[in-house]
Amino acid sequence: MKIGVLGSGDVAKVLASGFLKHRHDTMVGTRDSAKLAGWAAENSRGRVGSFSETAAFGEVVVLAVKGTAAADALRAAGAANLAGKLVIDATNPIADAPPHNGVLKFFTDLDDSLMEQLQREFVDAYFVKAFNSVGNNRMVNPQYAAGKPTMFICGNNEAAKKTVGEILDQFGWETADMGKAEAARAIEPLCMLWCIPGFLRNEWTHAFKLLKSS
C-alpha cells in the first residue's frame, strides 16, 4: 500500500521505517524537512513531503504527532486529501504539564476522546485508534517470550479496522477490536498506564496482553 505518515518525531519515524520494512511505499509529512534528514538518509526508499503532499499520496494515512498538534496537522494535510481514507490515529491527548506521581495529565476527559474530536471535524475520514498504548521502540515486530502483545483498536468503519488488523499482523501484534470510536475514551488512557512504570522505575519495554479463556 501507499502509506502517508504525518509527523517527524520518533513515533512517526519508527512507524514509517516499519512500513518500509514490510515493503509499503511510504512518505513522511512534516513542516520542517530538516527534522527528517537523518531518517531520509537511512531510508533511501522513503519519501519526505509536506503534510498535504503526504496525505494526498497515502492510501492509508498515519497520524503520529503530539496530541496538542493533531487537529492542526490534519488541517494542514487537508480534509479533501483525507476523505474516504483510513487514518490510523496513534496520538494521545497528553497535556503540556509534567506527570504527577508518574501519571500523565490529559486535556480530554473520560466522556470524550481526542479521536472522537478529530472524527467529528474530519467526518469523511475513517479514523482507527492504534499504536498509542506502547513505546515507539516496541511498535514494530516486538519480541516477547510470552508471545504477541495485544494492540487495542477502535473506530466506526469495519473495513478500516480490518485493514489495521492486517497491518498489525504484519507488525507482529495481536489485534483486539474494542468497537466504535467511543472506545477511544478507554484506549487513550492506556498511554497513562503504560507510562507509569517508565516514570517511576525507568521501565519502558513492556506491552499489554489481553488474556482470554478458552
Q: Say how far apart CA 97 and CA 136 lie, in whole Å.
A: 21
- Determine the CATH number of domain 2-201: 3.40.50.720
Separation in Å, CA 73 to CA 66, 177, 191: 9, 26, 21
Which residues neighbour 205 within 8 Å (Cβ) at sequence distance 6 or greater? 135, 137, 138
pLDDT in tens, 97-128: 999 999 999 999 999 999 999 999 999 999 99
DSSP notation for 157-207: -HHHHHHHHHHHHHTT-EEEE--SGGGHHHHTTHHHHHHHHHHHH------
* Model pLDDT, residue 20: 98
Phi, psi torsion values for 128, nearest 5 degrees: -135, 125
**Residue 13 confidence (pLDDT) above 80:** yes
Q: Scanning the structure block, which residue is given the C-alpha cell 506502547?
A: 134
* Model pLDDT, residue 55: 98
**Residue 187 confidence (pLDDT) above 90:** yes
- Amino acid 118 reads L
pLDDT in tens, 112-171: 999 999 999 999 999 999 999 999 999 999 999 999 999 999 999 999 999 999 999 999
* Model pLDDT, residue 50: 97
* Model pLDDT, residue 214: 77
Higher pLDDT, 78 or 213: 78
Task: Decide: 114 and 91 in contact? Cβ < 8 Å.
Answer: yes
Separation in Å, CA 16 to CA 45, 78, 148: 11, 20, 21
Choose among 68, 65, 99: nearest CA to 198: 99
Q: Scanning the structure block, which residue is given the C-alpha cell 524537512?
A: 33
Domain range annotation of the chain? 2-201
Question: What does pLDDT average to over the chain?
Answer: 97
